[in-house]
Structure 1
């Protein structure tokens, strides 16, 4: 599996956890672009890595603000 830090820049992940909704929204659009790029080139293992990263770091996070990010985007 690919290293998640090479797929999504740290600054993008940092802004994803930001309290300002507009920053989160822009970052989500950027992540969607990354996923579409990976899908176009058939990099399914890297897509799984990105999904696992987002699940572990945000959806299952103990920090309330990070969990809110994953619930808003649903």
Structure 2
């Protein structure tokens, strides 16, 4: 995949969490005591993975420091 910013080839790999973590996306990071699902623009990218690291395939541009990932539709159902 080519970087949308500089046009160079991106390195394939994985974006991963700390142990037992999950990835989500929102317009702003919710506070520690807030339910993240209620954050504006919330999208669940992965579910929890107890006993291991959560990961999603991703591409990274080392020159621009851009990471691109594609999450699966199943993540919304987890």
Q: TM class by shorter-chain length?
A: under 0.3
Which has more helix, going by share of residues? 1
**Higher alpha-carbon Rg:** 2
TM value normalised by structure 2 = 0.25
